[in-house]
Amino acid sequence: MKLATIRHAGSTTAALVVGDAFQPLPAGNLSDLLGMPAWKQIVSEAASEHPGLAAVPASDVEILNPVPTPAKVICCGLNYSDHILEMGRDLPAYPTLFAKFADTLTDPDAQIVADESVDLDWEAELAVVVGTTLQNAREDEAAAAIAGYTVANDISMRDWQRRTLQWLQGKAFDRTTPLGPVMVTADEINPEAGLEVICTLNGTEVQRGNTKTLVFSAAKLLSYISTFTILRPGDVVLTGTPGGVGMGMNPPLFLKDGDELITEIPGIGTLRNIVRTRVTADL
Least Å distance between CB 155 and a second copy? 12
Residue type, 219: A
The residue among 157 and 195 lying less far from a second copy, judged by its C-beta, is: 157
Enumerate the H helices of 97-238 as residue ranges.
139-144, 158-161, 168-171, 218-228
Residue 216 near a second copy by CB under 8 A: no
Task: Give the whole-angstrom CA distance, residue 15 versus residue 2.
Answer: 9
Q: How far is the CB of 147 from a second copy (least distance, A)?
A: 19
Reduced to 3 states (helix: H, G, I; strand: E, B; else coil), residue 254 is coil
Q: Does the protein bind a second copy through residue 173 (CB under 8 A)?
A: yes
For position 72 contacting a second copy by CB under 8 A, the verdict is yes
C-alpha neighbours within 13 Å on the C-beta side of residue 266 = 7
Among 93, 250, 281, 282, the residue binding a second copy under the rule CB under 8 A is 93
The answer to the question of residue 163 lying near a second copy (CB under 8 A) is yes
* Residue 249 CB partners (closer than 8 Å, separation 6+): none
With CB under 8 A as the rule, give the number of residues binding a second copy: 34
Minimum distance between the CB of residue 264 and a second copy, rounded to whole angstroms? Answer: 27
Greatest CA span in the chain, whole angstroms? 57
**Of residues 28, 19, 32, the one with CA closest to residue 59:** 19
Q: Least Å distance between CB 225 and a second copy?
A: 8
Using the minimum distance from each CB to a second copy, give the nearer residue, 165 or 193: 165
Q: Collect all residues with Cβ–Cβ distance below 8 Å to 2 and sequence separation of at least 6.
A: 16, 17, 182, 183, 184, 185, 269
Binding to a second copy by residue 174, rule CB under 8 A? yes
Residues in contact with a second copy by the rule CB under 8 A: 71-72, 74, 77, 92-99, 101-104, 116, 157, 160, 163-169, 172-174, 225, 227-230
